[in-house]
Amino acid sequence: MPATSLDTIVSLCKRRGFVFPSSSVYGGLGSTWDYGPLGVELKNNVKRAWWRSVVHERDDMEGLDAAILMNRLVWKYSGHEATFSDPMTDCRACKTRPRADHVFAAQKGRDPKGLAEINAAIEAKEIACPKCGSKDLTPARPFNLMFRTSVGPVDSGDDSGLVYLRPETAQGIFVNFGNVLDTMRRKLPFGIAQVGKAFRNEITPGNFTFRTREFEQMEIEYFVRPGEDEAAHDAWIAERKNWYLQLGMRKENLRVREQEKHELAHYAKRCVDLEYLFPMGWSELEGIANRTDFDLRAHSRSPENPDAVGELKYFDQEQKKHLVPYVIEPSAGADRATLAFLCDAYEDALVKEPPAEETAKLRDLVESFARSVGRREGMAADVKQRLVSAAEAIAAGLPATLPRLIGLMEDGEAGSIEVMKKVRGVGEKIAEEHTRTVLHLHPRLAPLTVAVFPLKRNDARLVELARSLKRDLQKAGLRAVYDDTGAIGKLYRRQDEIGTPWCITVDFQSLEDQTVTVRDRDSMQQERLKAPELATALTSRLA
C-alpha cells in the first residue's frame, strides 16, 4: 500500500531518524524540522543528483554559491520589497490567520484573480475560516514574506543596517551574471546553478517539510538570446521532468501544469509547474519560468536604477552588438523533492496473516483506544479527531491495516492515553512478525547503499570478515554500514524500512570461498557474489 496520508511518512521519518521536529527539548518551533542521520544523507543525495545532472553532465552550465545576506538594494530593485507578499486574512472568531488566496482556492475550486476578488468574496461571506467555519473574516491584506535582520553590532532602529535573509537563491545568480560571464568566458546560451537556503515568513506553513519558513532551493538561471527563449523553455521542462522519472518517481504521480495568465508573476512570460501527487493532493514541486530580461535589466544602471554600478549585458560577437539575455528559470525545492521521493518510495504490506484470535484481540484494544480518546478532556479537538479517525480506520481494516498501526503506536499524543500501553503490548509483536515496510528509493538516493551483517555476531572470524568488507566498500565510495544487533531477518526488515538497496550477509561458506550473500531490497532475491568483486558490481548497479 502506498502512503495515503502524510502522517505515515512523518511517523516513519521520526521513528527512523530522517526528520525530527526542531528544538524539541523546548517544545519545538512550529513547522521547523531538523534532518536526522538518515535524512541528511537522503537530502544530500537528492542535491548531489541534481548538481550532477544540471552542472557536471552538461557543457553549458556553471555552479555558484552566493551569500545568503546581500545588499538590501538587491531586494529593492528585484521588486521583492514592494511585491513579495501573500494576502492574509484574520478570523475574528478563532483568531487564526490563514492565507486568503488558499482559502479562496480551496472553497471556490479555482484560484482568485487578485486581492479585489478575494475581498469581494470575504465581503459577500462566500468563504469561511478553514479552522472554525466562521465567515467573520477581516479584509485580506498583503504580508511581506521576507525575514528582516540587521548587520553590525548596533541596531540603530532606523533601518540603516537592515538586511534580509534571502527569500530565493535566484537573485544571487543574477547579480553574479557578469562575474561568471567574464571569468568563465561563456557564450550564450549558458546557465548558472545554485543550491542553498532560502527563507520566507510563510503565513501558513505546514504539511511537514512541504512548506516551511527555512528551506533549500535548487535553482538554475539559463541565459539565452531573445527569440531563443521559447525553445529553451520547452527543453528545460522536458529535461527537469525526466530527472524525477530517471530517479524512479512514478510517472502517474508527476504532471506538468501550465500556469494561467492571472497566476503569472509580473516578470514572467510563461511558467509551468511540475506537480507531484502528494498524499494531500497535487502540489508544486518545481516551477519553470520564462523570466524574460526582467532581472538583468532591473539590476542594470538606468534612470529607474541609479544605484547599480553598471549594466548586466552580453556582447554578441556575431551581431557585433550588446544584448540583454532572456532567462529560463527551473526552480526546485530540495526539501519538497526529498519529501516527494519519500512518499513515492513508501510501501507497506502485510506479509502473512496473523492468527484470527490475535487480530480480534488487537481490534478490541484499538476500538477501546478510539473510545478513550473520544472521552478524553483537555485534548485539542484536531488531535482528538485525527487519533479517533486513524484508530477507527485501523480497527475496521485489521489485519490489512497492521502496518498503519505502527505509526499510531509511535504517535506521541496517542501515548498519553492509558490503553495505548496495552495496544503496544499486543500490537508491536504482531506488527513486527507480519508486516513489511519498504522505501523503494532509487539506489543513488538511498541514505545507505549497503549494509553488511555477520551471520553470527559471536564468531570472531565472521565479524572480522564482515567489518573488513564494510571498510572496503566504503573505500570504494559506497555508503556502507556494519550491523550485528539482531537476527538476520530483523536486520533485513530494518534496512528495508530505510530504503537500503542491498544487504550482505557473511556466513561460514564465506570463510572458505570468499563469497557472500547479496539480498536485493525490492525483489528480496539473494545471490552469491565474490567479496572482492562486490564493490565493482554494486557501483555498476548505481549508475
Contacts of 221 (CB under 8 A, 6+ apart): 170, 173, 174, 177, 191, 192, 291, 295, 327, 328, 329
Segment 441 to 470, residues that bind ligand ATP, using CB under 6 A: none
Query: Of these, 43, 166, 186, 200, which contacts ligand ATP (CB under 6 A)?
Result: 200
CA 132 to chain CA mean position, Å: 29
Q: Applying CB under 6 A, does 193 fall inside the site for ligand ATP?
A: no
Query: Of these, 202, 234, 367, 433, which contacts ligand ATP (CB under 6 A)?
Result: 202
The letter for the amino acid at 511 is L
Query: Of these, 18, 84, 215, 502, which contacts ligand ATP (CB under 6 A)?
Result: 215
In whole angstroms, the minimum distance from the beta carbon of 89 to ligand ATP comes to 17
Q: Applying CB under 6 A, does 217 fall inside the site for ligand ATP?
A: yes
Q: Applying CB under 6 A, does 483 fall inside the site for ligand ATP?
A: no
Contacts of 390 (CB under 8 A, 6+ apart): 7, 404, 407, 408, 411
Segment 271 to 310, residues that bind ligand ATP, using CB under 6 A: 284-287
List strand residue ranges (DSSP E) for 250-296, in order: 254-258, 270-278, 281-292
Q: Which helix (H) or strand (E) holds 11?
A: helix 6-15
In whole angstroms, the minimum distance from the beta carbon of 317 to ligand ATP comes to 34
Instruction: Identify which range of 297-305, 326-334, 457-465, 466-474 contacts ligand ATP by CB under 6 A.
Output: 326-334
Q: Applying CB under 6 A, does 404 fall inside the site for ligand ATP?
A: no
Judged by CB under 6 A, how many residues of this single chain contact ligand ATP?
Answer: 16
Burial grade of 216 (CB within 10 A; 0-12, 13-18, 19 or more): buried
Q: Applying CB under 6 A, does 335 fall inside the site for ligand ATP?
A: yes
Query: Of these, 43, 99, 186, 211, which contacts ligand ATP (CB under 6 A)?
Result: 211
- Angstrom distance (rounded) from CA 365 to CA 35: 34
Cβ closer to ligand ATP: 210 or 346? 210
In whole angstroms, the minimum distance from the beta carbon of 339 to ligand ATP comes to 9
Instruction: Please choose, from the candidates 455, 407, 460, 467, the residue with its C-alpha nearest in 3D space to the C-alpha of residue 431.
Output: 407
In whole angstroms, the minimum distance from the beta carbon of 335 to ligand ATP comes to 5
- Angstrom distance (rounded) from CA 469 to CA 475: 10
Return the residue nearest ligand ATP (CB atom).
333
Instruction: Identify which range of 107-115, 207-215, 304-312, 473-481 contacts ligand ATP by CB under 6 A.
Output: 207-215
3-class secondary structure, 539: helix
Q: Which helix (H) or strand (E) holds 143?
A: strand 141-144
Q: Report the interface residues with ligand ATP, using CB under 6 A.
A: 168, 200, 202, 211-212, 215, 217, 284-287, 331-333, 335-336
